[in-house]
Amino acid sequence: MNKKISLVLIFAGISIFVMGFFITFFWVKGNIGKGDYDVKGGAMLELSSGYLEKGDRTEGCFTVTGGNEEVKFYIKNPSGVIIHDAGIVKRRYDCGFTAEDSGIYSFYFENLEPLSDKHIHPHWRSPYEPRLNVFDKLGLLTMLGGIAILVYGTHAFKHA
């Protein structure tokens, strides 16, 4: 094997490893509980839970500041059906649910005041008991494949 092919294998191994790292640690991860979100007057904010498997428990809360400190809040399942409707929530709301289906759940915050911005600070643990999901396993497998290709390419480069 010549050095050019070995370099291509090394580059491919690194690329596949990085892709696996991205899948494992960033892709299909919920953004619930990471920071503050602004909801303009009359607008709606949608946040995703990340991938949940059937039976996963999600628990947490959010606070609302700005304007009259209230928003309309509800949660939809992966099929788009509302599974939790809290109605109009003032200041703080605590809730939890158990996933009835596998998939990505959506959290909706509607600002019903057209002239006032709201600030949402969510904090959920999703899933409540951490475990590897199918995407984590796929990412780890991809990382392992990238390492194998990288090692093979490096070995071939040294012996070319």
Instruction: Tell me phi and psi for residue 158, to 5 degrees.
Output: -70, -30
Instruction: Tell me phi and psi for residue 101, to 5 degrees.
Output: -135, 155
What pLDDT is recorded for position 32? 63
pLDDT tens for the chain, residues 1 to 160: 688 888 888 888 888 888 888 777 766 555 565 678 899 999 999 888 777 888 888 888 899 999 899 999 999 999 999 999 999 999 999 998 999 998 889 999 999 999 999 999 998 776 655 667 677 788 888 888 889 998 988 888 888 7
For 49-66, give one letter per residue: b (16+ CB within 10 A) or e.
Answer: bbbbeeebebebebebeb
Its pTM stands at 0.65
What pLDDT is recorded for position 34? 65
What pLDDT is recorded for position 33? 58
**Exposed/middle/buried for 2, CB within 10 Å: 0-12, 13-18, 19+?**
exposed
